[in-house]
Amino acid sequence: MDVKELNKIAKGMVAPGKGILAADESTSTIEKRLTSINVASTEENRRDYREMLFTADGSEKYISGVILYDETLRQKAKDGTQLVDILNKRGIIPGIKVDKGIQPLQGTDGEKITEGLDGLGKRMAEYHQLGARFAKWRAVLNIANGKPSRQAIVANAEALARYAGICQANNIVPIVEPEILMDGDHDLATSFAATERTLHAVFEQLALHNVVLEGMILKPGMVIQGESCKKAASIDEVADATVQVLKRCVPSAVPGIAFLSGGQSDELASAHLGAMNARHPNLPWALTFSYGRALQALPLKLWGGKAANVANAQKGYLHRAKLNGMAALGKYDA
C-alpha cells in the first residue's frame, strides 16, 4: 500500500471548488433513467449518454472525478477512444463502483446488506489496471421504527471496512458510502440520531480493519428530514445539523467528505452544501459533492437521446456542476 499516493488521490478528489460526478448507475438503474426520457437502454445509448457528460468542455473546472460502472470503464467512445482516456485527458480521475448491490439481511425486518466482497481483491487489481484510482461501495440503511437496527448498522459497517481495506491494498482510494435513505416521515432529529449511530460504527470498523483514514473519502447523506415529513427543516438547520454530526463522528485525518444527493432536488442539494461551507469555514475536512441525480437530472432531460441536443445538455450539466463547485467553496448563490 502506498499511503502517500492514496492521500494524493483522495486530496485530488476533494480539491477546492471541485466534486465528484456519480455516473455509476447499474444496468437496471440506468435503464430506469433512460426509460424516463423514452430512450431504450442499449449499450450504445448508455455510451452516448455518458460520452455526452464526459466530453463537456470545462467540466474539469468543477469535477475532480467520475464514478463509473464496470461497463463504462471498459467502453469506447464513438470515435474509438476509451472513455477513461477522455476523462484522464481532462485531468478527471476515473473511479469504479465495485459493490454488487443489496440483498436482504437475514434476521432483520426487511433491512439490507451490500454484497460483493468475494473475489474483490482480484477484481480490484484489474480495475487498477484499467485506470480506476478510486472506488465506491454503497451501504443502504433505512429509518423506520427501530431501524436502522444495530445488526444492520454493524453488518454494513464491517462490509464497508473490509472493502476499504481491499481498495487500499490495491492503491485504490475507497469512497465509504453509508447511505441512510430519505424515505419516511421522520424528522431532522431522528435523521441526526441514525446518522450518528451509523458513523460511529463505520469508523469503529474502519479502525478495526486498519483502514488508513488519510487515504479514503466518506460519502454520507446529509442530516435531513424524511421526504414525507410534514415539518420541513430550513436550509441552515440541515447544514448545521449535518456539520455537527460530522464533527462528532469523523476524525480530522479524513481528507474529505463528498455527499450523495439521495433524492433531494438539484437546487436543495446545492443550497445545503453551500450553506455548510458558508456557515462553517475552516472545518478539518473538505466538504463537497458526489452527486448522481442532482447533477444529471437536468442534462438527462435536455439530452433526450438526441445527438442534436448534446451541446445543450452539456450546458445544463456544466451549469449544475459550476453551482455545486461554488457551493463547495461556500459561495453558492442560486
Catalytic residue ranges: 219
Q: Smallest gap, in angstroms, from Cβ of residue 156 to ligand 13P?
A: 13
Task: Classify strands 134-141 and 173-180 as parallel, antiparallel or unpaired.
Answer: parallel
Binding ligand 13P (rule: CB under 6 A), the pick from 261, 270, 288, 324 is: 261
Q: Smallest gap, in angstroms, from Cβ of residue 149 to ligand 13P?
A: 21
Residue 291 near residue 264, CB atoms below 8 Å: no
Residue appearing with cell numbers 472525478: 65
Q: What's the longest Cα–Cα distance across the chain?
A: 53
Residue numbers 177-196 binding ligand 13P by CB under 6 A:
177
Binding ligand 13P (rule: CB under 6 A), the pick from 17, 184, 262, 325 is: 262
Q: Smallest gap, in angstroms, from Cβ of residue 264 to ligand 13P?
A: 8
Residue 255: asked if its preceding bond is cis (omega within 30°), the reply is no
Q: Does 127 sit near ligand 13P (CB under 6 A)?
A: no
In the bound complex, which residue of the shown chain has the CB atom lying closest to ligand 13P? 292
Q: Smallest gap, in angstroms, from Cβ of residue 79 to ligand 13P?
A: 28
Of the two residues 4 and 28, which places its CB atom closer to ligand 13P in the complex? 28
Instruction: Provide DSSP, 239-275.
Output: HHHHHHHHHHHS-TTS-EEEE--TT--HHHHHHHHHH
Q: Smallest gap, in angstroms, from Cβ of residue 53 to ligand 13P?
A: 14
Q: Smallest gap, in angstroms, from Cβ of residue 2 to ligand 13P?
A: 26
Among candidates 103, 108, 179, which has minimal Cα distance to 139?
Answer: 179
Residue 134's DSSP bridge partners are: 95, 173
Of the two residues 28 and 129, which places its CB atom closer to ligand 13P in the complex? 28
Task: Classify strands 256-259 and 63-68 as parallel, antiparallel or unpaired.
Answer: unpaired
Q: Smallest gap, in angstroms, from Cβ of residue 69 to ligand 13P?
A: 11
Encoded one letter per residue, x for contact with ligand 13P by CB under 6 A and - for no contact, window 138-177 reads x--------------------------------------x
* Piece of 113-121, 187-195, 239-247, 258-266 that binds ligand 13P (CB under 6 A): 258-266
Of the two residues 37 and 125, which places its CB atom closer to ligand 13P in the complex? 37
Distance CA(238)–CA(244), nearest Å, equals: 10
Among candidates 174, 176, 113, 107, which has minimal Cα distance to 141?
Answer: 113
Residue 324 near residue 17, CB atoms below 8 Å: no
Of the two residues 17 and 178, which places its CB atom closer to ligand 13P in the complex? 178
Q: Does 137 sit near ligand 13P (CB under 6 A)?
A: no
Quote the cell numbers at residue 192: 441526526
Binding ligand 13P (rule: CB under 6 A), the pick from 21, 92, 260, 275 is: 260
Of the two residues 294 and 310, which places its CB atom closer to ligand 13P in the complex? 294
Encoded one letter per residue, x for contact with ligand 13P by CB under 6 A and - for no contact, window 285-324 reads ------xxxx------------------------------
Residue 170 near residue 134, CB atoms below 8 Å: no
Q: Does 225 sit near ligand 13P (CB under 6 A)?
A: no
Residue numbers 16-75 binding ligand 13P by CB under 6 A:
22
Vertex 208: Cα angle to 205 and 214 (nearest 5): 80
Where in the chain does DSSP place strands (E)?
Answer: 19-22, 63-68, 93-97, 102-104, 112-114, 134-141, 173-180, 217-218, 256-259, 286-291
Residues that bind ligand 13P (CB under 6 A): 22, 138, 177, 260-262, 291-294
